[in-house]
Amino acid sequence: MENLENNQTETTTEVSTKQEHEVATKEDVKTFTEEEVNKKIQSAEDRVRTEYSKKIKQMEEELKELRPKEKSQEQLDMEARIKALEQKEKEVQAKELQLKVSKTLSDNGLPSQLSKYINLQGVEDVESYLGEVKNVLTEHINNTALNNSFKPSNHNSNKEKISKEDFNKMSYMERMNIYKENKELYNKLSK
């Protein structure tokens, strides 16, 4: 009898194992309809959206905290004063530079009025720059201005001063020579 009971127990065990196996395979393979799949996808998307929208809201709040608050009237007034002082400082520096340039020009023998017309932006050494300007100007003046200037060919010396009496004593030919050489003198003496 014991053998029978033992056999029954073994069969039962085998049966139960087969049932578990059938249940396990039924659980592993589930078939879904297209609607169910779409619902599952939608719910997953919704979860992701809500998670990211929470993160975005949190970051926007942090951004608001980090943004500077609106400035008070005192701060605006202070900024305006600072800008005005910076502007005045720039003007003072420009005037100092203008005076320095003017002094350097006069030290180099050039007219100080040239300081208005000389562009010194980006120039670090003003003295050497103005020295170069002086050299260029003097070279230009020496080469072109003196060479192209009027040089009278006939100089009437003061040794030959002619008075009105001398003019009246002159002959017609001498008067004609004075007329050819110096019309102004002729006109003065003939009156």
Residue carrying the six token digits 């970051």: 59
* Domain range annotation of the chain: 77-145, 161-191
What whole-number distance in Å separates Cα of residue 140 and Cα of residue 163? 44
The answer to whether 181 touches 156, Cβ cutoff 8 Å, is yes
Residue 79's pLDDT is 92
Residue 12 binned pLDDT confidence (cut-offs 50, 70, 90): very low
Average pLDDT on 85-91 reads: 96
Q: Give pTM, 2 decimals.
A: 0.38
Residue 110's pLDDT is 80
- Which of 123 and 38 is assigned the larger pLDDT? 38
The answer to whether 178 touches 162, Cβ cutoff 8 Å, is yes
